[in-house]
Amino acid sequence: MAAVKPALQKESGRDDAPAATPHNNVAHLADALPRRVTQTSASSPTGIRPVTLPINQPRRETSFQPRVPVITGEATYRGAFPVHGTITGQLGAAGSVMTIKQRPKSGPTDSQPELNGELSFKDMLRISGHVAGKVFSYKGTLIVDGSAKVEAEIDVAVCVISGIVIGDVVGHERVEVGSGAVVKGNISTPALSIKPGAVFQGDCRMLKNGDQ
d(CA 95, CA 130): 24
Q: Where are the domains of the chain?
A: 71-103+113-206
pLDDT at position 77, please? 73
3-state helix, strand, coil in the chain (%, to 5): 5, 40, 55
pLDDT of residue 61: 55
Query: Across residues 135-140, what is the average pLDDT?
Result: 94
Per-residue pLDDT reduced to its tens digit, 24-61 = 555 555 565 555 555 555 555 555 666 565 656 555 55
Residue 108: pLDDT band by 50, 70, 90 thresholds? very low
Residue 188: phi and psi, rounded to 5, are -125, 120
**Sign, CA torsion 75/80/81/84:** positive
Cα angle 192-198-201, degrees, rounded to a multiple of 5: 75
Contact 132, 152 (CB under 8 A): yes
pTM: 0.60
Res 76: pLDDT: 79
